[in-house]
Amino acid sequence: METIYKRVLIKISGEALAGDKHTGFDFAFVSQVCETVKTCTELGVQVGIVIGGGNFWRGVKDGAGKVERVSADRMGMLATAMNCLAVCDVFRQLGADARIMTAVDIQGVGERYDTRRSIEYLEQGSVVLFACGTGHPFFSTDTAAALRAAEIGADAILLAKNIDGVYSDDPRSNPEAVKFDQISYDEVLARRLAVMDSTATSLAMDNGIPVIVFALAEPDNIRRVLCGEKIGTTVR
């Protein structure tokens, strides 16, 4: 089976890992996601992953008015580390090699992020999980995904979300919202569409990295995207 990408960065929302529980982990679902990613690595695709922390803590959104912004964002970084630890263990139980690279020093959680080491692990067939965002407050895990994708030379960013693509408006509140098959970075920014935050979108645009937005509800969508099936929305 041929794939159209050699190296990708998959951004997975923390909420997606929680399933219907909306918090914590739905390990049956996490296992499906990891099994699909393992299948993709067996096809020869090199996979890096950034996971959000929303199943535990949504940074400033959860801390607004209660926790200072810098502290709230650092709590979000710790939430991503928790997610990476859990997902890394699931990969290993499935027989896949997985490594955690952290943007801040957390002894016992993973190695301090290093671009060259990350690429070496990818080339060896390991799944590399990038924890703790960029390591700085005021930057989202979307921005971390775009940054790591640029650093490792990813061919594409796969944005696995709870929605099946990019729409002209929120389809949950506006049944007339139109789904795009393809859209430009400029239009995403001009229309303020909720794909990634503006910093992440600009970073992807400046580095010419296409972003494919699709629903993670069916984990096999990851393989389908890598094999060139036209699902979700492509931002380029």
pLDDT tens, 163-200?
Answer: 888 998 888 888 888 999 999 999 999 988 878 889 99
Q: What is the pLDDT of residue 194?
A: 77
Amino acid of residue 232:
G
Is 173 domain-assigned? yes
- Residue ranges in the chain whose pLDDT is less than 50: none
Q: What is the pLDDT of residue 88?
A: 97
Is 189 domain-assigned? yes
Q: What is the pLDDT of residue 195?
A: 84
> What's this model's pTM, rounded to 2 decimal places?
0.94
Q: What are 11's strand-pairing partners?
A: 50, 159
Q: What is the pLDDT of residue 48?
A: 98
Is 135 domain-assigned? yes
Number of folded domains that form the chain:
1
Is 172 domain-assigned? yes
Is 1 domain-assigned? no
Is 2 domain-assigned? no
Is 166 domain-assigned? yes
Q: What b-and-e string marks burial along 180-202, b requiring 16 or more CB atoms within 10 Å of the CB?
A: beebebeebeeeebebbeebbbb
- Domain with 32 in it: what CATH number? 3.40.1160.10
Q: What is the pLDDT of residue 120?
A: 98
Amino acid of residue 38:
K
Q: What is the pLDDT of residue 58?
A: 81
Q: What is the pLDDT of residue 64?
A: 74
Q: What is the pLDDT of residue 2?
A: 84
Determine how many CB atoms are found less than 10 A away from the CB of residue 78.
Answer: 17
Q: Domain span at residue 34?
A: 7-235
Is 209 domain-assigned? yes
Q: Does residue 202 come out as left (phi exceeding 0), alpha (psi in the -120 to 50 range) or beta?
A: alpha
